[in-house]
């Protein structure tokens, strides 16, 4: 089948007239959809090179399902709706699964009603009436990666296989051995056979880093974390796999011999976690669909948290918690009746490129940005998506008028991942980079060996000044509430703010004069500027300065290492500003490029002045932050292990975790004898039970706060 056939969307000619000919047309359409779906499934499962987004595949799949439902006689045994697709590649050895690897039914209704429908179905199938108590479910994340079966014999990893077609997978043991998260020996268990099933995936930040490195080398980038993970696991050469940052979460079992499987799914996952298996802590035991502790509440909570999770999920999974009930419910075709996947809006969609604009960034980098026909993707309407640089745009062959796949996942900016072939209008000129900055008119340059075009205007360029201010003001840096894009435009265009310290020199009168800047918002901005001074920490400040290659993590490492900013020309040699190239290299994870970039930044007198002026304006932070390993032992919770479970009334899990870690505690994912405290909130599940069983101290949010800020007398 040629590429163009693949994307032909018009149905075959329908010789309107008799009933017979209409039936032929429907049969032809079913055949066309089957061929199309088989081709796409092959690209997806076998080649790991999908050319359409999943949502588009789902739409075609549902169209075929609808035809087959209305005309059962058209259902063929080889229809993609009738079998699990996937083939075994030549290079890897096929392995027959001891227990087939099933799939789960998908609830396509992304609203709360999807969870209610599942609960209603389970109750009906179990013969429960309205007066019967709610069913208990294990609710967890639906990871977007590659399913894997890990076979442990007498506690030792002996074989890892992909899912393949569900009956037969491929032996990828050599590659799985390179994934550090996957234990080679299970802790405390000697079962003759224990097959653990779960998902191999890649975190979004690791994926971004990988692509950033590819981009800098001018090499081909990867499409999304899932395909990258799947491709890495199925390599013939394990050395390639070893270079990919892969991770794993367990969510089920395969063949088991010689182990008493715990009576509930949640207890089984706890047991796996205790054996050293990575198990996600974002799970709960829900009672029924509705109510505070129901499936709907979980679906909504995870829906809100989806963007801030470090990896992609495409939904949540509900499983009847009791194994006895699971067995009673059984299977229908190749899916268990006791589980369902409840989806969220897709993170990839198709849309049209209406134009290509140029954006000028903080470092002067010129980024081609596709102006798109608005499309709902990853839960928001997207109208722009980055094309990164000229070379990537050329490699992906994007032109105005093309239909493209847009991806928006997490808080990563939306990007164009590829063009749908065969849909380009006839005449479209190739895109060219301008030779002058579209904002300030300065010459555009590209240094030898660099892929990026840059405006040479520096802080003369208003675009660069604006971006520098926005970077400084963002939540993860100085967190200046209310200082958004529109306001920064006005401040810079109106000549009120040129450099970072100018922000803290603005008077009320000047501000209130600005367009739409009512007095109240002027006062609000001044208040949040004031607040930002109090909230500052050395890492946030350093990150906010926008030194090239100094992200949040490097900023934290630098602050921990030096603990001080220092003063240029000062006697003291401790500060970051004064650190030599060699001293910078001694910082964890700082290499030659980063060290040079920091040195170059502070070698420029005006940058040091900016720092001094900001500090003079009152931006300050506690001088002695907990630094270096030597100090760790003095932290109040040093050596303590804490487990978080359930939802706390005011603290998000990440906040609670950060507070605990700052106090020296280790935050673990599962409860064991070594756990010192369990902090439990609403919807706390099996971890709480386990803690009670083991007699571990259980705290609520207030208890956690007391633990973190003990009365002065108890601090030795
Ligand atoms: S359970 C018997 N749980 O989704 C049920 N699957 O179509 C077997 N997946 O191939 C699967 N997260 O790769 C289960 N928490 C989770 C999952 C999950 C992701 C994937 C898995 C499977 C597909 C199911």
Please, what's the largest Cα pairwise distance for the chain? 96
Interval 681-692 mean pLDDT: 84
Taking only the tens place, the pLDDT of each residue in 433-443 is: 999 999 999 99
User: How many angstroms separate the CA atoms of 47 and 31, rounded?
Assistant: 23
From the CB of residue 601, how many other CB atoms can be counted at a distance below 10 Å? 18
Contacts of 316 (CB under 8 A, 6+ apart): 139, 140, 141, 142, 298, 299, 302, 341, 342
CA of 34 to the centre of ligand 1 (A): 24
**pTM reported for the whole predicted model:** 0.68
Interval 535-544 mean pLDDT: 92
pLDDT at 471 over 80: yes
pLDDT of residue 11: 41
pLDDT of residue 124: 97
Ligand 1, CB cutoff 6 Å, lining residues: 102-104, 140, 142-143, 147, 163, 199, 251-252, 317, 336, 339
> Is the Cα torsion angle 311, 348, 405, 455 positive or negative in sign?
negative
CA of 381 to the centre of ligand 1 (A): 28
CA of 369 to the centre of ligand 1 (A): 36
User: How many angstroms separate the CA atoms of 182 and 150, rounded?
Assistant: 9
Taking only the tens place, the pLDDT of each residue in 195-209 is: 999 999 999 999 999
pLDDT of residue 266: 97
pLDDT of residue 571: 56
pLDDT at 550 over 50: yes
CA of 64 to the centre of ligand 1 (A): 23
Ligand 1 pocket: which of 97, 105, 251 to mutate (most atoms <8 Å of CB)? 251
User: How many angstroms separate the CA atoms of 483 and 491, rounded?
Assistant: 10
Tell me the pLDDT of the chain averaged across its residues.
Answer: 87
In DSSP terms, which residues pair with 444 in a beta bridge?
455
Quote the percentage of the chain above a pLDDT of 70: 90
In DSSP terms, which residues pair with 699 in a beta bridge?
679
User: How many angstroms separate the CA atoms of 234 and 438, rounded?
Assistant: 45
pLDDT of residue 63: 93
Q: Picking from 22-36, 224-238, 567-581, which range would have the lowest pLDDT averaged per residue?
A: 567-581
pLDDT at 215 over 50: yes
The answer to whether 396 is a known catalytic residue is no
User: How many angstroms separate the CA atoms of 337 and 329, rounded?
Assistant: 6
pLDDT band at 713; cut points 50, 70, 90: very low
User: How many angstroms separate the CA atoms of 511 and 497, rounded?
Assistant: 11
Query: Atom 23 of ligand 1 has which residue's CA nearest to it?
Result: 103
User: How many angstroms separate the CA atoms of 500 and 221, rounded?
Assistant: 35
More confident residue, 509 or 173: 173
Q: Are 169 and 89 in contact (CB under 8 A)?
A: no
Query: Atom 3 of ligand 1 has which residue's CA nearest to it?
Result: 251
User: How many angstroms separate the CA atoms of 336 and 320, rounded?
Assistant: 10
Q: Are 563 and 622 in contact (CB under 8 A)?
A: no
pLDDT of residue 569: 63
Query: Atom 12 of ligand 1 has which residue's CA nearest to it?
Result: 142
**Total residue count of the chain as it appears in this document:** 716
Which has the closest alpha carbon to 233: 278, 184, 173? Answer: 173
**CA-336 nearest atom, ligand 1:** 2
Q: For the chain, state the CA radius of gyration.
A: 29
pLDDT of residue 5: 38
More confident residue, 9 or 227: 227
List of long-range contacts for 503-508, beta carbons under 8 Å, 24+ apart: 503/469, 503/472, 503/473, 503/529, 504/529, 504/533, 504/614, 504/617, 504/618, 504/619, 505/617
CA of 4 to the centre of ligand 1 (A): 33
SS (H, E, C) 473-497: HCCCCCCCCCCCHHHHHHHHHCCCC
**How distant, in Å, are the alpha carbons of 174, 265, 323 from that of 330?**
34, 15, 10
């Amino acid at each position: 089948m040629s590429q163009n056939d693949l994307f032909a969307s018009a149905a075959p000619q329908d010789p309107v007239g008799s009933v017979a000919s209409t039936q032929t047309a429907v049969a032809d359409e079913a055949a066309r959809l089957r061929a199309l779906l088989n081709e796409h499934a092959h690209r997806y499962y076998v080649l790991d090179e999908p050319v359409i987004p999943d949502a588009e595949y789902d739409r075609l799949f549902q169209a075929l399902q609808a035809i087959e439902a209305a005309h059962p006689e058209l259902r063929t045994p080889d229809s993609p709706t009738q079998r699990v697709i996937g083939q075994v590649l030549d290079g890897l050895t096929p392995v027959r699964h001891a227990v087939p690897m099933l799939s789960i039914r998908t609830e396509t209704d992304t609203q709360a009603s999807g969870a209610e429908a599942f609960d209603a179905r389970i109750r009906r199938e179990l013969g429960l009436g309205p007066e019967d108590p709610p069913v208990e479910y294990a609710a967890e994340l639906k990871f977007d990666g590659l399913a894997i079966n890990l076979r442990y014999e007498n506690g030792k990893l002996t074989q890892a296989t992909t899912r393949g077609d569900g009956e037969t997978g491929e032996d990828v043991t050599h590659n799985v051995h390179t994934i550090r998260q996957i234990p080679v020996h299970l802790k405390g268990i000697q079962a003759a056979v224990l097959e653990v099933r779960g998902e191999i995936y890649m975190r979004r930040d690791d994926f971004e880093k990988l692509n950033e490195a590819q981009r800098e080398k001018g090499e081909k980038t990867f499409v999304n974390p899932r395909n990258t993970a799947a491709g890495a696991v199925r390599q013939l050469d394990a050395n390639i796999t070893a270079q990919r940052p892969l991770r794993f979460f367990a969510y089920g079992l395969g063949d088991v011999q010689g182990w008493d499987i715990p009576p509930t799914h949640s207890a089984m996952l706890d047991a796996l976690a205790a054996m050293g298996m990575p198990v996600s802590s974002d799970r709960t035991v829900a009672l029924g669909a509705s109510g505070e502790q129901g499936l709907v509440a979980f679906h909504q909570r995870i829906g809100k948290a989806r963007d801030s999770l470090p990896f992609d999920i495409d939904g949540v999974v509900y499983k009847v918690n009791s194994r006895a009930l699971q067995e009673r419910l059984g299977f229908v075709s190749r899916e268990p009746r006791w589980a369902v996947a409840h989806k969220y809006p897709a993170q990839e969609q198709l849309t049209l490129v209406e134009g290509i604009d140029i954006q000028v960034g903080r470092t002067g980098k010129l980024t081609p940005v596709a102006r798109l026909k608005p499309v709902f993707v990853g839960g928001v309407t997207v109208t722009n998506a980055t094309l990164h640089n000229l070379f990537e745009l050329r490699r992906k062959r994007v032109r105005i008028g093309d239909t493209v796949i847009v991806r928006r996942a997490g808080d990563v900016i939306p990007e164009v991942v590829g063009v749908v072939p065969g849909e380009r209008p006839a005449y479209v000129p190739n895109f060219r980079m301008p030779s002058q900055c579209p904002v300030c008119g300065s010459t555009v340059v590209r240094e030898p060996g660099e892929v990026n075009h840059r405006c040479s205007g520096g802080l003369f360029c208003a675009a660069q000044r604006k971006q520098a201010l926005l970077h400084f003001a963002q939540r993860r840096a100085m967190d200046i509430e209310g200082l958004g894009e529109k306001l920064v435009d006005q401040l810079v265009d109106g000549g009120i703010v040129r450099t970072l310290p100018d922000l803290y020199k603005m008077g009320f009168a000047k501000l209130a004069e600005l367009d739409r800047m009512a007095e109240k918002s002027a006062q609000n901005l001044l208040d949040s500027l004031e607040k930002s001074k109090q909230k500052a920490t050395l890492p946030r400040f350093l990150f906010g300065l926008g030194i090239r290659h100094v992200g949040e993590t490097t900023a934290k490492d630098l602050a921990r290492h030096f603990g001080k900013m220092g003063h240029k020309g000062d006697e003291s040699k401790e500060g970051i500003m004064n650190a030599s190239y060699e001293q910078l290299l001694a910082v964890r994870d700082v290499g030659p490029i980063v060290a040079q970039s920091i040195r170059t930044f502070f070698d420029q007198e005006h940058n040091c002045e900016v720092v001094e002026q900001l500090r003079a304006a009152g931006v300050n932070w506690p001088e002695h932050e907990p630094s270096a390993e030597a100090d760790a032992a003095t932290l109040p919770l040093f050596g303590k292990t804490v487990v978080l479970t359930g939802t706390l009334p005011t603290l998000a899990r990440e906040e609670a975790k950060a507070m605990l870690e700052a106090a020296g505690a280790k935050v673990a994912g599962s409860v064991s004898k070594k756990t010192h405290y369990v902090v439990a909130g609403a919807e706390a599940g099996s971890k709480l039970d386990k803690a009670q069983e083991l007699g571990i101290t259980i705290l609520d949010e207030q208890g956690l706060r007391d633990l973190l800020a003990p009365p002065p007398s108890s601090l030795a």
